[in-house]
Structure 1
Amino acid sequence: MKLEYLRLKNFRAFRDVEMKDIPRLAVLVGANGTGKSTLFQVFGFLRDAMRDNVHTALTRLGGSRGFAEVRSRDCAGDIEIELKFRQTEDSPRISYELHVAEENDRPVVTREVLKYRRGSKGQPWNFLNFSRGTGVAVTNEVDEVENEQDLRREEQTLKNQDILAIKGLAQFERFPAVVALGELIENWHVSDFHISKARPEPEFAHAEHLSTDGDNLALVIQFLFRKHRDVFDAILKKLSARIPGLAKVEAKTTEEGRVLLRFQDGSFQDPFLARHVSDGTIKMLAYLVLLHDPNPHPLLCIEEPENQLYPSLLAELAEEFRDYANRGGQVFVSTHSPDFLNATRLEDVFWLVKSAGYTAVQRAQDDPQIAACAKDGDLLGALWKEGLFPGADPRG
């Protein structure tokens, strides 16, 4: 998957912004409070709305105030989200647009449209068009239609006006375009990793993917060791090269049915349990597990990966993110680290600037001075520290 375009209106600090030609690795910088986390919340909001409903997604994001808290302050109108992306490089471009309002103290989906565009020219075709719980959806396979008049449309009514049509119809195989989008959104991974949750010994269970907070790290390590030994060995090799003295990592099941994550230092006979290992070791292991998932997520969002990690490791980590993206996924990363930024490319970097309460998104390659300096060989982290990103420094 590759997200090419994102437009937000009335979504928290983003009163009206758009990001065009988004790269596979998108790196966000900006002062605290400019909206880097909020941008990731957009993806989490869509995933939660897909899994549950819009009301639940708004409550998780805005608490008891829900819609009123999520909509940009002192603004009227709907919350609007528009995405344009491709599942593969050769597949049609997909446009998904969602508008949410509040009526009688309840959220309502006032507009939900899914469009596919064949080729690089011409008008896109509507495969789904819903408003307030009713609308039409196309039952054709996307690849089997050559002319718009051949589309077979079917009217449908959803159970509630706060349910996404892509959720309500994704359970029916006769709406393949909707099913494809629904599966894509459900598999987005917005990381909220907590080292404290990765340390305890979980009860034995099956886990193939790292959870958003990392509480199943030991279970995923065990799965990789048993089912994907080559992946496990690659992770251990990279981890050992970055953590001095580390010789072995294993997940061991106790008689009580708990899974212990153990780390072997080559200088000692007895291994250390996860609760006695450094934060940086746990975090680097979690990132390697996430980035070497045998069935990778189409989209990753990771905040400030530099925390707890030694600065010299950040360039290698940035390349791990790039490799993941080049294998077909896409990665959004926020950072405050010049060392991490030094390992990025000009076309990767966006910076967020807040003015009068609302955030604008700028792109490094569009700034003549930054672009010229980068062309001359200057590293982006150094340029950022020198104050060449206008508005990025909170001190002005």
Structure 2
Amino acid sequence: MRIHSVRVRNFKSLRDVHMRDIPNFAVLIGANGTGKSTFIDVFGFLRDCLSGNARTAVHKRAGFAQLVSRGREGEDIAIELKLDLAFADGRERRVTYLLEIGERDRRVVVKREQLRWTRGGGGKPFNFLDFAEGRGSAVEDRPDLQETALRREEVLLDAPEILALKALGQLKRFEAASQLRELIEGWQVSDFRIDKARMEPDAGPAEHLNEDGSNLALYAQFLHEEHPALFSDLLRRMADRVPGVAEVTPEDTGDGRIALRFRDAAFRKGFLARYVSDGTIKMFAYLALLSDPAPHPLLCIEEPENQLYPNLLPILAEEFAAYARRRRDHAQVFVTTHSPDFLAAVPLESIYWLRKHEGFSSIARGADDRQLRALVAEGDQPGWLWRQGLFRGADPA
């Protein structure tokens, strides 16, 4: 899976924003309030629509009137993704998924939902999923049949706020819908919190690090017991990145809880996570997240620089980039940052910057700016160029 473009209309400050040519590792920069968090929330919104329904996803964000762009009341929120899907028979398709959310009689409904791609060698994209307000049709893509011979099934959903992708994605014969549903359900929009990561949770399974980090000790125990080679590599990278950390071990506290113990090289006995620095906890959590044996198809991480020493930020940027390269066809990473130190290790092709004009956001790609390309080619780092204000409109000045 790889998302190639995202277009968003009428979603808060994103009145009409189109992010194109997205690499596996994408970094969003910009001043406070320019729409970075809003853009990341688009992915969370899609996942919430799928896991629940459009109404609950909208109400989670204070209702439709608060979510739709100012001045666009009465219009629909629209999100369009273009992404690659690999089919079971070896075919790869560039598909387009369109979701439009609006109101009818003050009730949130799915106004339009389409999943389409071009069959064969070209021609007009074909709608394999085409729904409006709970009614529509779906077509099974049969490579052995011509387009005119494909059978369209008429479907009535249980309610107009339910996504067809959710209902039909359970049926394997609708392969693209099933695959896209599985991908979106696996997205992680990180909301990491240091206080949560220090917790000593009750023992139990944790095959993934959750979004706020509250099961960090359980997830470390899972890696330690089920994937010892990955855990050993995690510890090696942690020791390289945070000097002095010689060992991290999950241990049973004796009362049914699991705690993390960090041992400094200068001491024989380690310290429990609740006594370790914020930066140490956060770096370990990110490295553990990137060690997941079953990676999330999309990771969205906001401002990872908080609580980390500046010298660690280029290293962390390199870790995210390496993860995206290593998992090339299975994982994509979006990061927002305010840190020039982090940006110093990010290639220009991965940088997008948001700016705001008259209350609405726009987005630009670093590699599309001739001046930035020339300066980077001469050896300047993107972080320094940002400090100099050359990403025009990306800072409060």
TM-score (norm 2): 0.95
Q: Give the equivalent residue in structure 1 for 2:283.
A: 284
> 1:195 corresponds to which letter in structure 2?
I
1:220 aligns with 2:222: no
Is 1:92–1:119's contact at 8 Å kept on the other side of the alignment?
no
> Which range is displaced more, 40-49 or 327-336?
327-336
Kindly tell me: are residues 253 and 120 of structure 1, through their superposed partners in 2, closer, same or farther at Cα, counting changes over 3 Å? farther
Superposed CA offset, 1:228-257 (max 9, x none): 001000100010112222111111123311
Superposed CA offset, 1:130-187 (max 9, x none): 001010112346xx35632243321111111000000122223332221111101000
Is 1:274–1:282's contact at 8 Å kept on the other side of the alignment?
yes
Percent of aligned positions with the same letter in both sequences?
53
Q: Give the equivalent residue in structure 1 for 2:53.
A: 53
Q: How does 1:155-304 map to 2 (within 5 A)?
A: 155-304=154-303
Cα distance in 1 for residues equivalent to 2:91 and 2:318:
25
Kindly tell me: are residues 219 and 302 of structure 1, through their superposed partners in 2, closer, same or farther at Cα, counting changes over 3 Å? same
Is 1:140–1:152's contact at 8 Å kept on the other side of the alignment?
no
DSSP 3-state at the match of 1:92: strand
Match of 1:74 among 71, 74, 89: 71
How many residues of Structure 1 are paired with residues of Structure 2 in the alignment?
390
RMSD over aligned CA atoms reads: 1.5
Q: Which runs of 4+ in 1 moved over 4 A?
A: none
> 1:69 corresponds to which letter in structure 2?
Q
Cα distance in 2 for residues equivalent to 1:309 and 1:302:
14
Aligned-pair distance for 1:122? 2.5
DSSP 3-state at the match of 2:297: coil
Match of 1:337 among 336, 339, 354: 339
> 2:393 corresponds to which letter in structure 1?
G
Cα distance in 1 for residues equivalent to 2:144 and 2:124:
15
DSSP 3-state at the match of 1:230: helix
Q: How does 1:76-95 map to 2 (within 5 A)?
A: 76=73, 77-88=75-86, 91-95=92-96
> 2:130 corresponds to which letter in structure 1?
N
Q: Give the equivalent residue in structure 2 for 1:43.
A: 43
Q: Give the equivalent residue in structure 2 for 1:15.
A: 15
Is 2:194–2:278's contact at 8 Å kept on the other side of the alignment?
yes
Cα distance in 1 for residues equivalent to 2:133 and 2:191:
33
Kindly tell me: are residues 279 and 108 of structure 1, through their superposed partners in 2, closer, same or farther at Cα, counting changes over 3 Å? same
Superposed CA offset, 1:236-285 (max 9, x none): 00101122221111111233110011111121122100000000011001
Is 2:199–2:215's contact at 8 Å kept on the other side of the alignment?
no
Uncovered stretches (5+) of structure 1, i.e. residues with no partner: none
TM-score (norm 1): 0.95
DSSP 3-state at the match of 2:60: helix
Cα distance in 1 for residues equivalent to 2:385 and 2:311:
18
Kindly tell me: are residues 268 and 120 of structure 1, through their superposed partners in 2, closer, same or farther at Cα, counting changes over 3 Å? farther
Uncovered stretches (5+) of structure 2, i.e. residues with no partner: none
Aligned-pair distance for 1:87? 3.0
